Amino acid sequence: MSEREGKAEGTTHFGYQQVPVDEKAQRVAQVFHSVADRYDVMNDLMSFGVHRLWKRYAINLAAVRKGERVLDLAGGTGDLAERFSRLVGPEGEVVLADINASMLEHGRERLIDAGVVGNLHFAQVNAEALPFSDNHFDLITIAFGLRNVTDKDAALRSMYRVLRPGGRLLVLEFSKPVLPGLGKVYDAYSFTALPLMGRMVTGDADSYRYLAESIRMHPDQQTLQEMMAAAGFERVNYYNLTGGIVAVHRGYKF
């Protein structure tokens, strides 16, 4: 098996459920179709606005320079892509990519309204089989999206292929709390408050119950570091944020 998540032959996890491998992408798509219009509002509510600080940290860690080519995978509503577009300048290129058409369209409309045009492109792609040429991008980011990918190992290999030598990958994702006692508080919040907020704001508690479950099924910091190394990335390191609730992993292609 390619992933280290204990799945049965021919199945994978969708939250805590075991589903056929070929059904997971469709189920994840339905989750994001359901919440796309209220996605940014819910992010602010769920994290008390702290998600903006997590993303700012990742952007600073990315150290984007003018003229670089950036691929923002699972880019959703485009908050990272918007910042990268300004950093790379007119001589650079940013591709906002997402597997979900609803999220991608929402991001496209928001960025066009914000006047972000010219060096920004949009692509509906599957991270497991990226439709880009080898050695093309200087930076790839995937923020809060890797846990939804069916075959994470295949996706990491695909990202490695399209990075140029010297390029880097940043994965910003929910992870495993490392502060004593934080895990119990976080679990209580995730499985009680998140579905309640989801029902009140979007009319959809199930999608936010899936969110809580998908976080628990995602590899921990050390395991993801090992997965990135197995895909070919070097100098892989991670940085815990908010006591390990979120972590940023960074690896290079040499």
List the binding residues for S-adenosyl-L-methionine.
Answer: 77, 98, 126-127
Which residues have CB under 8 Å from 26's CB, separation 6+? none
Let me know the angle formed at the C-alpha of 69 by 60 and 126, rounded to the nearest 5 degrees: 95
Per the CB < 8 A criterion, the answer to whether 126 and 99 are in contact is: yes
Let me know the angle formed at the C-alpha of 120 by 67 and 241, rounded to the nearest 5 degrees: 80
Binding residues: 77, 98, 126-127
* Helix or strand run (H / E) with residue 238: strand 234-241
| Backbone dihedral region for residue 223 (phi beyond 0: left; psi -120 to 50: alpha; all else: beta) | alpha
Distance between CA atoms of residues 183 and 189, nearest Å: 10
